[in-house]
Amino acid sequence: MIDRLLSGDLPRGRVLSFLVLAVVLALALAPILFPGQRNLDVAARICVFIVLVASYDLLLGYTGIVSFAHTMFFGIGAYGVAIASVRLGTGWDALAIGLIAALSLSAALALAIGLFSLRVRAIFFAMVTLAVASAFQILASQLSWLTGGEDGLTFRIPAVLTPGFRLSEEPILGVMITGRTLLYWGVFLVSASLFLVMLRMVNAPFGRVLQAIRENDFRAEALGYRTVVYRTSASVLSALIATLAGAMMALWLRYNGPATTLSFSIMVDILLMVVIGGMGSLYGAILGATLFILAQNYLQDLMKQAAAATQGVPLLPELLHPDRWLLWLGVLFVLSVYFFPSGIVGRLRGVER
């Protein structure tokens, strides 16, 4: 049953299987195991970024396409939901219209970029996508009448998904089930479903062709596969999944702005998560996104405690000051690349062979 659910692509390795299972169970039971708004917010972000990182790995790890436009599709999904909710109201129909419009726009843009640009090689395609993404971010910032400009859009969602909604007047398993809790479980279920869909894609014949193109696109074309068609299809599918991830992020935050989903720093974060987890394996997205977002949100707290514990030790409290968390995050990334050059998944699979 599990083998079929995972499309025959099991994590392979006891340690890796344990880590993946632990993350999935922790996310599924987050409202119960980790009460508190901040913890729930971190868990929701992990769910969204697992989908976003996995969809990017579909391009980079499985097809060998380096694109810097992934956050553009992420932002399109978020803006679609936000603009529709502001203009059409708080109903489910507004969310549906916004999501359909966002998916349509993302598909059209991904198809256009693919058809016009995927015939060029490597760095040239990357530069084209970077230019398109930058132009879209500038456009979103300047069209304030539509997107809210730099301030972004704050919007309302259906009442059943708001913190004020109560499913029951009594706690269930020690947790009060509010609309926020229901929204979190909705984000988790959609994220899990999208991950399983991607796992099915990469283990189908379509995914095998993408990997063949990554290894040697000339040989794949010589075998009769139309590489441009497959690469374009991978770009469109990856863009659509990133759009859905953006819609989930906007719903969770009830806000969207250029810095929230379109920032180039988010694109850098996605690249780091892919490298840390391991390219060419969707399970790497689970571990990479989880570790990176946990470090982003809790590293400062750990450093504050460490600085307090080392008072009186020369220089150490200054090095461990919470304001230097980005420095230590960079150090952790360098160490992870040094000790895990093929990512956490590649390293763990290599150890148990």
pLDDT in tens, the chain (353 residues): 677 777 777 787 788 889 999 999 999 999 998 888 899 999 999 999 999 999 999 999 888 888 899 999 999 999 999 999 999 988 899 999 999 999 999 999 999 888 776 666 667 788 888 889 999 999 999 989 999 999 999 999 998 988 888 877 777 777 778 889 999 999 999 999 999 999 999 999 998 998 988 888 788 888 888 888 888 899 999 999 999 999 999 999 999 999 999 999 899 899 989 989 988 889 999 999 999 999 888 888 888 888 788 887 777 778 887 777 778 878 877 887 777 777 888 888 765 54
| Secondary structure of the chain as H, E, C letters | CHHHHCCCCCCCCHHHHHHHHHHHHHHHCHHHHCCCHHHHHHHHHHHHHHHHHHHHHHHHHHHCCCCCCHHHHHHHHHHHHHHHHHHHCCCHHHHHHHHHHHHHHHHHHHHHHHHHHCCCCHHHHHHHHHHHHHHHHHHHHHCHHHHCHHHCEECCCCHHHCCCCECCCCCECCECCEHHHHHHHHHHHHHHHHHHHHHHHHCCHHHHHHHHHHHCHHHHHHCCCCHHHHHHHHHHHHHHHHHHHHHHHHHHHCEECHHHHCCHHHHHHHHHHHHHHCCCCHHHHHHHHHHHHHHHHHHHHHHHHHHHHCCCCCCHHHHCCHHHHHHHHHHHHHHHHHHCCCHHHHHHHHHCC
Domains of the chain, each with CATH number or no CATH: 2-263 (1.10.3470)
User: Can you give the pTM of this predicted structure?
Assistant: 0.93
